Copies of this chain bind each other. A is one copy, B any other.
Amino acid sequence: MKLYDSKLAPNPRRVRIFLAEKGISVPTVQVDIGKGESRKPPYIEKNPLGGLPMLELDDGTCIAESVAICRYFEATQPNPPLMGTDAADQGVVEMWQRRMEFELFRNVTGCFQNTHDFFKGRIEQVPAYGEICRKAGRARLAWLDGEIAKRPFIAGGRYTIADITALCAIDFGRVVDIRIADDQKNLARWYETVSTRPSAKA
């Protein structure tokens, strides 16, 4: 088993934190995004869309997409549960995972891809769309501050994959100035809790 990883990108960190929370260790291969290694052979023969991270199983099966890789490990090692327990809890955790993905993570990366120099010349940037993402990302943090006032973690009383997605989105959000505002005290309390867990260093 091998995990194709990049220390530069926000998605692979989601899997690294997930594995750290589970106490699972997997051999990793660093793929150099700056040199375009994830966009050319041999990597794209395993993952034609070129994204990172990717998990290659011993039988050659390749699983791309951070949440899909987490799903694999949730099934092979259910404890501690990070994707929900019973049916209702699995649904609620998946709802919050997706909200953190679409409302935070995607706005951060949408802003980054469309406004940041790193992507200049790599993709067709639309700065006006990037600015909408920035505004939306900030608005979602304000909304999340109210939500997180009601419970310790994003999806309820327990740390889950939704916290991991939110943490990675917020940390990466700094590069595009999507940050927890001074008056967002609930979010700041949550951030302090999750970012000081040992897994956050992964």
Could you tell me which A residues sit within 8 Å of B by CB distance? 48-49, 55, 57, 59, 61, 63-65, 67-69, 71-73, 75-76, 84, 86-88, 90-92, 94-95, 97-99, 103, 114, 124, 126, 128-129, 132, 143, 147
State the Cβ distance, A55 to closest chain B Cβ, in Å. 7
Find chain B residues with CB under 8 A from A69 CB: 91
B72, B128, B143: the one contacting A48 at CB < 8 Å is B143
Whether A90 lies near B72 (C-beta < 8 A) is: yes
Find chain B residues with CB under 8 A from A128 CB: 126, 128-129
CB-based nearest B residue for A86: B75
Whether A90 lies near B67 (C-beta < 8 A) is: no
Find chain B residues with CB under 8 A from A88 CB: 57, 59, 61, 63, 72
Q: List 26 A-B contacts (CB under 8 A).
A: A48-B143, A48-B147, A49-B99, A55-B91, A57-B88, A59-B88, A63-B88, A63-B92, A63-B95, A64-B99, A65-B94, A65-B95, A65-B99, A68-B91, A68-B95, A68-B98, A69-B91, A71-B90, A71-B94, A72-B91, A76-B87, A114-B129, A124-B132, A126-B128, A128-B128, A129-B129
